[in-house]
Amino acid sequence: ASGGGWHSLVVARDGRVYGAGSNGHGQLTGSAEEKRALRLVRGLPDGVRAASAAAGDLHSLVVADTGRVYGTGSNWIGQLTGTGEKTTLTRLTGLPAGIRATSAAAGDSHSLVVADDGRVYGAGDNGLGQLTGTATPKRTLTALKGLPAGVRATAAAGGDSFSLVLADDVRDEVPGALAA
């Protein structure tokens, strides 16, 4: 389950995603009406099941069992890749060929995808560097920079204007790290 700014998502055992709350930007798919009870989030290809879901402020992300990521809702700054608002689950672009998503996180207006290559890819708002690099929006999934060589990302989280990455290695040279 995941809670966003105005809506919530749940992945059922059968691999379908349900949501409730605000749908003003299509973050729950379909018409802009508010959903006061859990409703099916539509758009996954036939035979594809959801592995996990993440709710942002006005957008939703679904990681499929195929390793692809789909999104719906507000895309005003490219958080779902490309341009234009999405009212059905649409595949995000930018993961390199052969790379599969293992999880996703949604910030206010940015999306994060943890991939099986140990990297985190992001799209959307980067005004405060939440996707690393220059402070320009990213309209395709782009690898975040900054993890030391040999360190793999295992999880990510997105906030209002920041991103966090959990890595598989803790190094002694990290300033302020607690000694065991």
* Tens-place pLDDT, residues 14-53: 999 999 999 999 999 998 888 899 999 999 999 999 999 9
**pLDDT tens digits, one per residue of 54-73:** 999 999 999 999 999 999 99
Phi-psi region of 139 (alpha: psi -120 to 50; beta: other; left: phi over 0): alpha
Q: Please, which pLDDT band fits residue 110 given cuts at 50, 70 and 90?
A: very high
**Nearest-angstrom CA–CA distance, 73 and 25:** 5
Bridge partners, 110 (sequence order): 124
Q: What's the mean pLDDT in 90-101?
A: 98
Q: What's the mean pLDDT in 3-8?
A: 92
16, 38 Cβ separation under 8 angstroms: no
pLDDT at res. 180: 41
**pLDDT tens digits, one per residue of 136-176:** 999 999 999 999 999 999 999 999 999 999 999 865 555 54
Q: What are phi and psi of 62, to 5 degrees?
A: -130, 125
pLDDT at res. 169: 83
pLDDT at res. 172: 54
Q: Which residues lie closer than 8 Å to 121 by C-beta, 6 or more apart?
A: 94, 95, 112, 113, 115, 141, 142, 143, 144
Query: How many angstroms separate the Cα of 72 from the Cα of each of 17, 25, 135?
Result: 12, 8, 24
pLDDT at res. 33: 86
